[in-house]
Structure 1
Amino acid sequence: MTGIRLREAAPGDAPAIAALHAANWRGAYANVLDPAYLAGPIDADRLAVWSKRLSDPPATQEVVLAEDEGDALAGFVCLYHREHPVWGGFVDNLHSAAAVRGRGVGTALLREAARRIAARDADAGLWLWVFEKNSPARGFYEALGARIVEQVVSDWDIARGEMRLRCHWPDAARLAAEPDPSATAPSARCGCRTDRPRRHARSRQAACLL
Structure 2
Amino acid sequence: MIFRDALSGDFTSIAALHTRSWREHYSGIFDEDYFGKAIEKDRLNVWKERFSKGNSLRKVILVEENNELVAFACTFLDHDPQNGALLDNLHVRSDFHGRGLGLQLMQQSFDWVKSQRPEQSLYLSVLSENKASKQFYLNLGGKVIDTHFEKSQAGNEVEVDVLLWEDRPQRIA
- Whether these two folds match at TM > 0.5 is yes
The one-letter amino acid paired with 2:16 is A
Deviation at 1:130, TM superposition (A): 0.5
The one-letter amino acid paired with 2:12 is P
Partner of 1:165: 161
**1:60 counterpart = 2:53:** no
Deviation at 1:163, TM superposition (A): 0.7
Q: Whole-Å Cα distance in 1 between the matches of residues 123 and 72 of structure 2?
A: 16
Q: Whole-Å Cα distance in 2 between the matches of residues 156 and 98 of structure 1?
A: 22
Deviation at 1:159, TM superposition (A): 4.9
| Aligned pairs, number | 173
Q: Whole-Å Cα distance in 2 between the matches of residues 12 and 99 of structure 1?
A: 24
Q: Whole-Å Cα distance in 1 between the matches of residues 162 and 92 of structure 2?
A: 21
Partner of 2:93: 97
Q: Whole-Å Cα distance in 1 between the matches of residues 155 and 126 of structure 2?
A: 12
Q: Whole-Å Cα distance in 2 between the matches of residues 137 and 29 of structure 1?
A: 11
Matches within 5 A, 1:79-158: 79-156=75-152, 158=154
The one-letter amino acid paired with 1:99 is D
Deviation at 1:156, TM superposition (A): 3.0
Partner of 2:22: 25
Q: Whole-Å Cα distance in 2 between the matches of residues 139 and 38 of structure 1?
A: 24
Deviation at 1:82, TM superposition (A): 1.5
Q: Whole-Å Cα distance in 2 between the matches of residues 26 and 53 of structure 1?
A: 21
Q: Whole-Å Cα distance in 1 between the matches of residues 156 and 93 of structure 2?
A: 27
Partner SS, residue 112 of structure 1: helix
Deviation at 1:59, TM superposition (A): 2.5
RMSD: 1.5
Q: Is the 1:146–1:168 contact (alpha carbons within 8 Å) kept by the matching residues of 2?
A: yes
Q: Whole-Å Cα distance in 2 between the matches of residues 33 and 133 of structure 1?
A: 10
Q: Is the 1:37–1:158 contact (alpha carbons within 8 Å) kept by the matching residues of 2?
A: yes
Partner SS, residue 59 of structure 1: coil
Deviation at 1:29, TM superposition (A): 0.5
Q: Is the 1:87–1:170 contact (alpha carbons within 8 Å) kept by the matching residues of 2?
A: no
Structure 2 CA distance for partners of 1:49 and 1:161, relative to 1, 3 Å? closer
Q: Is the 1:80–1:91 contact (alpha carbons within 8 Å) kept by the matching residues of 2?
A: yes
Any stretches of 5+ residues in structure 2 without a counterpart? none
Any stretches of 5+ residues in structure 1 without a counterpart? 186-210
Q: Whole-Å Cα distance in 1 between the matches of residues 124 and 91 of structure 2?
A: 13
Structure 1 length-normalised TM: 0.78
Q: Whole-Å Cα distance in 2 between the matches of residues 10 and 52 of structure 1?
A: 13
Deviation at 1:109, TM superposition (A): 0.7
**1:10 counterpart = 2:7:** yes
1:37-95 deviations in Å (ceiling 9; x for gaps): 11121111111111121221322111110111x12111000100011111111000000
